[in-house]
Structures are given as C-alpha cells and as structure tokens.
Amino acid sequence: MEASEVLFLKYGVKSITMDEIAKHLGISKKTIYQCYRDKDEIVYLWTKHWMDRDQENMCEVFAASANAIDELLRVSEHIRVNFASIHASLLFDLQKYHPQAWKIYLHHKRAFILDRITDNLRRGVSEGLYRPGIRIDILARLRLEQVQLAFDGGVFPIDTFHFIEVQEEFLSHFLRGIVTEKGLNLVDDFEKMRKRYN
C-alpha cells in the first residue's frame, strides 16, 4: 500500500500502471497479482487506508485544539502539510475510474468530515466565537464543499491557482462571515502571525 501511495499521490491514480507499481516495489507484476485481483482493488484498499489514517490524524488535531477557531486553523494546517503534494487529478481519477474507492472517499467526506464541521460550528457558537443563530446545517455543508471545490481544476486551474492558497482564502472568508467580535480578534491575530512567518 505504501509504495502505491507514493505513486498515486505524486502522479494521480489513472496514470499509474501495475507495471510501475511492481517496478517501484522491485517485484514482479505476477507477485502483485498473487496478492491483489487488479489495480482497482489496490486503489480501493489504499483509499480505505488513506481515509482511515486521515480520520485518526484529524481526531488528534481536534483533541489538541484550544477552541473552535483554533480547531479550524489546525485543520487548515493539516490540509496544508498533508495535501500539498497531492497530484491535482487524484480525486477526479478516483471519481471517474474507481467508483468503489470514490464511495469510500464520499462516505468519509459526508459522514466524518461533515459531522466534525457541524460539531465545530456548535462549539464555536457555545464558546461565543461564532454568531448565535447561524444555520449550522447550511454552513457545515458550505464549508465541506469549499474544501472540495479547491481541488476542482475546472474552477481553479492548477497552472493559475494552488489549492492550498484557495483553501486559505476560503477559510478566511468563511470564518469572517460567522465570527463574533471576540472570534474576529482571534482570526486577525492568527492571520498577522501567519504573515509574519511566511
């Protein structure tokens, strides 16, 4: 799985062949076929492993956060660190060529991530960092789709936009639309600190 992951993340899923996986591992293609039915099975198992690992990592991020805004900023940093080197076509490849793997990704997105965004919004309201009365059900889905939209090369061509920059702009816009004055002070402090170190 780890050898496949290196190739999939760097080059996307579609462009990697079983021959390239075998060569990368230093084994024969026949040996791979003794363990896996086909490339689709490898992609499926890798996607499951990737989503499980991402969920574990995200739970660590959530546990370490001081408040709801800190949590979103830590998630943003997690995305920056862990997704910066992902090939732009990876999610498109999963969706178009590996429907079972895509279902795993969608389940992770629509169950785990949506629940965590919803929890974050509730937390922020209870901490007085987000405005009371916001439509959590709508805003959670908006934020979820913002994250996905940044990966869409049709909307944000990779030769013009880097998805990390798009994510950061979306997050700033999202937060500034929901925070209280207390929350805005935290967002401003963070953005000043980030500019100082970038």
For 130: left if phi > 0, alpha if psi spans -120 to 50, otherwise beta; the answer is beta
- Nearest Cα neighbor of 88 from 40, 169, 154 is 154
Q: What local confidence, expressed as pLDDT, does residue 80 receive?
A: 82
For 179, the 3-state DSSP assignment is: strand
Q: What local confidence, expressed as pLDDT, does residue 118 receive?
A: 98
Q: What local confidence, expressed as pLDDT, does residue 151 receive?
A: 82
pLDDT along the chain (198 residues), means of 10: 85 92 91 94 95 94 95 89 80 93 95 96 98 98 93 88 89 96 94 75
DSSP single-letter state for residue 83: H
Q: What local confidence, expressed as pLDDT, does residue 198 receive?
A: 59
Predicted structure pTM score: 0.88
Q: Does domain 38-197 have CATH number 3.40.50.720?
A: no
Domain ranges within the chain, ordered by starting residue: 38-197
| In 37-180, alpha helices (H) | 39-64, 68-83, 90-97, 99-107, 114-126, 136-149, 163-178
Give φ, ψ of 38 to 5 degrees. Answer: -165, 180
CA 139, chain centre distance (Å): 17
